[in-house]
Amino acid sequence: MLILFVLIVLKHIFVLLSCVPMENKNLELLEEKFQQKIDQDIKIEPNDWMPDNYRQTLIRQISQHAHSEVVGMLPEGNWITRAPNLRRKAVLLAKVQDEAGHGLYLYSAVETLGADREDTIDDLHSGKVKYSSIFNYPTLSWADMGAIGWLVDGAAIMNQVPLCRCSYGPYARAMVRVCKEESFHQRQGFEIMTTLCKGTLEQKAMAQDAFNRFWWPALMMFGPNDADSKHSAQSMKWKIKRSTNDELRQQFIDVTVPQAELLGLTIPDADLKWNESTNHYDFGTINWDEFWQVVNGNGPCNAERIEARTKAKENGLWVRAAAMAHAEKQRERTKQSA
């Protein structure tokens, strides 16, 4: 009996050991097929097999994107009640509402990857997951609404247009709609700046001041230099990312400098000049120390932004509980009357 038992155990061990390389081989095959699909520009859909790292990278990236949309409502929300006329108030309300809508699509896209929306929001509140650093800068004047629309939404479009071709279907499709709306936002920002720059000396000064404060943080929105970007290479291979940080930043500068000149604004960079040989603008060194300080929580408004979002959730817990309790009671009532 004992011998039989030992033999059975040994057989199981043997089978298990022989399976390991087979499983590895299966995994390799799956990964190979997955990469082939990506190389052929076939979209990956929620029920398709995907490497765990691909899934995790997307959850991180899309949830960061969703949080950026939602936290981004705060600096602009700061000026809705003080908008200078009724039209601007209505437009700003509509714009910030769009951002909230983008947050919703993106949280839905995260959920297609098996993540829970509330868990990802709790990760934002605990500081585990980041959002775009630009929203940690304060909005100090009405011109900041112009600068944000023009520069921040402009930079976001540069980042997001390539994502419409991202390998993950739900993210790519969400981006198509998001980009259409962002392009409106960028135009409304530029229109605010145009009106200010054509206005009184005070208005022009207000526009220049906002431009001075948002220019460098907008350049930082593209992330660290390629050499220092730890996620870039793999994301490019997976077509989650389709252009490098430095390529996008250069593209943004090349497009935006003539717009600033058209507005008559001075670019706050003494080293900025057109380079005939590269056909691009050369520009000064970005203050990466400031960038990392803001990323790591030391920006002017990091604490305020997270506090506002955490409070919104905490203050609303009783509302959620009420909605759930009412829904439950309704279900019971329907059951009883049936």
Toward other proteins, which CB reaches closer, 143 or 267? 143
d(CA 284, CA 215): 12
Rounded CA-CA distance 226/296 in Å is 19
Give, for 306, the enclosing helix (H) or strand (E). helix 302-315
Closest to other proteins by CB, 9 vs 94, is 94
Shortest distance in whole angstroms from residue 246 CB to other proteins: 33
Q: Token pair 């071709």 is at which residue?
A: 165
Pick the closer one to other proteins by CB: 33 or 320: 320
DSSP 224: S
Contacts of 259 (CB under 8 A, 6+ apart): 150, 190
In the chain, where do the E strands start and end? 273-275, 280-282
Judged by CB, which is closer to other proteins: 9, or 90? 90
- List interacting residues with other proteins (CB under 8 A): 70, 73-74, 77, 80-90, 93-94, 96-97, 100-101, 103-104, 107, 142, 192, 195, 199-200, 202-203, 308, 311-313, 315-326, 329
Residues with Cβ within 8 Å of residue 235, at least 6 apart in sequence: 57, 61, 241
Q: How far is the CB of 310 from other proteins (least distance, A)?
A: 11
Residue 213 beta carbon to other proteins: minimum distance, rounded to whole angstroms:
19
Helix then strand count (H, E) for the chain reads 14, 2
| Shortest Å distance, C-beta 87 to other proteins | 7
> Is the Cβ of residue 50 or residue 197 nearer to other proteins in the bound state?
197
Separation of alpha carbons 271 and 269, rounded Å:
5
Least distance to other proteins from the beta carbon of 124, Å? Answer: 12
